[in-house]
Amino acid sequence: MRTKRATLLPHRGKQCFSMAILADNLSEMSSKVGFKIQPTIYWVANGAQFPRIISNTFDAVVTTGSQLNLDKESIPLNPWYQNLFEFIRSVRHQRIPMLGICFGHQAIAAAFGVEVITNPIKPQTEIGFAPVTLTIEGRGSGLLSGLPRDHFDALFSHSYCITTVPHGAQTLAIGHGKMIHAFSLDLLYGVQFHPEISPDVIKHIAELRAEKLAKQGIKRVKTEIERRVDHTVLENFVKMAARMREL
């Protein structure tokens, strides 16, 4: 079986169980996609060095969510962000497929000049399942292949967002308040939602945040789990990345 190497960049202040689950999910996906996936985690928020950008070192990059923020007030407080932005720009230059999730989605945009802002909706923190509307470009994107052509519900947990995309990028999906929920820039892809989080993790998060969810009137987190479709985005990206690296 062929092997594809994936680099994972978590951005939380501490190692988190969701990152370990993402690595496991990628490894277990091998039987579905027809090749072995070998993930390597770089804890760059904890001071780890970024991997060297050599086109044959790895086949894809996934940059994840975070408890940190990327608004204009937060960027000066985290000097390592500039290293992250340079890494992202180098990945694009080397034409290595990259998927940014939540914070990672915003980081890709910020690396190319887009301002990250607080959510333009109330309540500001969006937790749980919320509607995502595909654009014309999104309907034709391999990243969103197999999803309903008009809209679907996806899992969110964020207080910040982008409402514009980098120059030359395509908006693939939008949400309330003109929020950009998915975009592409060459071989770089960003999604504001969380396709990597498994149903078991969703249940765990819902239990931990039950009181906050109830205050926001969110009652359908658990009931949506069984019919969610947004998780297919991760598998779509893996298949696309494999094809791109073979061209």
Task: Look at strands 180-185 and 126-134 and give their pairing.
Answer: unpaired
Q: What is the DSSP letter of 212?
A: H
Q: Which of 6-15, 87-96, 128-137, 232-241 has the least mean pLDDT? A: 6-15
Instruction: Note the pLDDT of residue 80.
Output: 87
Q: How confident is the model at residue 246 (pLDDT cuts 50, 70, 90)?
A: low
Q: CB under 8 Å to 241, separation ≥6 — which residues? A: 4, 6, 59, 60, 97
Amino acid (1-letter code) at residue 11: H
Q: How confident is the model at residue 15 (pLDDT cuts 50, 70, 90)?
A: very low
129 vs 2: CA distance, rounded Å: 36
DSSP state letters, 101-127 = ETHHHHHHHHHTTPPBEE-SSSSSSEE
Entry pTM: 0.85
The better pLDDT of the pair 153, 205 is held by 153
pLDDT beyond 90 at 111: yes
pLDDT of 213-228, one tens digit each?
A: 665 555 555 555 666 7
